[in-house]
Amino acid sequence: MIKSFISIKKFSKEPYSAILGYPKFTKRQINARILELENLNIKSISFTGPTTIGKLEILGKGYVGVVVLAKKGNKKVALKIRRLDSQRNEMKSEAKLLKLVNTINVGPKLFDYSKNFVVMEYLEGEKIGKWIESIQGPGSVKKLKTTIKSVLEDCFRLDQIGFDHGELSSISKHVIVGDKKSSLIDFESSSTKRRVSNVTSITQAIFIGSGIGKKVQRLYKIPPKEKIIDTLRAYKQEQSRDSFENLLKILKL
Ligand SMILES: Nc1ncnc2c1ncn2[C@@H]1O[C@H](COP(=O)(O)OP(=O)(O)O)[C@@H](O)[C@H]1O
Ligand SMILES: [Mg+2]
């Protein structure tokens, strides 16, 4: 159920202040953040989503941010709010990384950012870890394959530009699967200076790891681990379209 949107004017007071200043805040910090939101043209926030803070439903929570559904002007957006206990002291770096991956059509679209906020495309859907638990019935293998293939294609494009996501080994939290499209999220730990391992990390997480891998194997017969590992090794040596296509073939995608 989509709850109504609450004007940010109300966010200086409980219980809403707890969202802007999670997990602990001063009045001054909250007032500064409300001003920051006004400058970003964020008018209101809606409490909906699979996670909660206190009694308020939110889209998600990590170690860096709390993510809520918001309105920028009249448009629905996802708002990532920097946690006050976060290791990061600004959101600009993450926004820049997101902007970069957007140029190759990866990740939610970046709309705006400020010191403590990232305003981005709201992705409707479920995290892949949960989604995969619930798929069943006719068409599920096809949908699974399409989803994995599109995620791998995103990873390949990231590899091509030398951009490493950094957290794809824990895939279950970093892919949102929607009705029409699937998207990688959370580029907070990404880097353009490391050796890239997007395709290899995600393939290992999906086909070799224990969590999602088990479910995938139940849905369709994948080749033996050794074969996947060999193919990945070849891809690692030469990250070309050809070796990527070969991987897709081996994985029956
Ligand atoms: N654009 C988005 N649309 C919808 N939900 C999102 C979006 N971005 C993040 N989320 C949700 O919020 C959670 C936390 O976001 P994430 O970027 O992973 O934060 P952190 O950097 O703190 O780990 C995600 O796991 C996801 O459930
Ligand atoms: Mg995260």
The predicted-structure confidence for 66-123, as pLDDT tens digits, reads as follows 999 999 999 999 999 999 999 999 999 999 999 999 999 999 999 999 999 999 999 9
The mean pLDDT of 54-60, rounded to a whole number, is 96
What CATH code is carried by the domain that includes residue 205? Answer: 1.10.510
158 and 183 co-located in one domain: yes
Same domain, 242 and 157: yes
Cα separation of 33 and 30, whole Å? 5
The reply to whether ligand 1 has any atom less than 6 angstroms from the CB of 118 is: no
Asked, for residue 63, whether it belongs to a domain, the answer is: yes
Average pLDDT over residues 128-136: 91
Query: Would the pLDDT of 2 be above 70?
Result: no
What is the rounded distance in angstroms from the CA atom of residue 250 to the CA atom of residue 227? Answer: 8
Domain assignment of residue 100, yes or no: no
Pick the closest to residue 202 from 173, 180, 160, 161 (CA basis). Answer: 173
Phi, psi angle pair for 182, to nearest 5°: -120, 150
The answer to whether residue 219 sits within a structural domain is: yes
62 lines ligand 1 (CB under 6 A): yes
Q: 170 CA to middle of ligand 1, Å?
A: 14
Q: 25: domain range? A: 5-89+109-121
Question: Dihedrals φ, ψ of 215, to 5°?
Answer: -65, -40
Q: Report the 10 Å Cβ neighbour count for 74.
A: 6
Residues 182-199: pLDDT tens digits? 999 999 999 999 999 999
Q: Say what the pLDDT of residue 190 is.
A: 95
Tokens of 102: 């957007």
Rounded CA separation 104/180 (Å)? 18
Q: Establish if 97 belongs to a structural domain.
A: no
Averaged confidence pLDDT in the chain: 95
Q: How many domains is the chain built from?
A: 2
pLDDT of amino acid 82: 98
Cα(138) to ligand 2 centroid in Å equals: 32
Does residue 109 have its Cβ closer than 6 Å to ligand 1? no
Tell me what the mean pLDDT of segment 209-237 comes to.
90
Q: Which residue has the tokens 């989503």?
A: 49
Residues 83 and 134 in one domain: no
Nearest CA to ligand 1 atom 23: 62
137 token code pair: 């019935």
What global pTM score does this model have?
0.95
Residues 63 and 131 in one domain: no
**219 and 166 in a common domain:** yes
Answer yes or no: do 238 and 189 share one domain.
Answer: yes
**Gap from CA of 77 to ligand 2 centroid (Å):** 18
Please tell me the predicted confidence (pLDDT) of residue 200: 97
Give the position, in ligand 1's atom list, of the atom nearest the Cα of 127: 27
The DSSP 8-state label assigned to residue 246 in this structure reads H
User: Which ligand is closest to the CA of 172, given by its number?
Assistant: 1
Q: What is the model's pLDDT at position 33?
A: 98
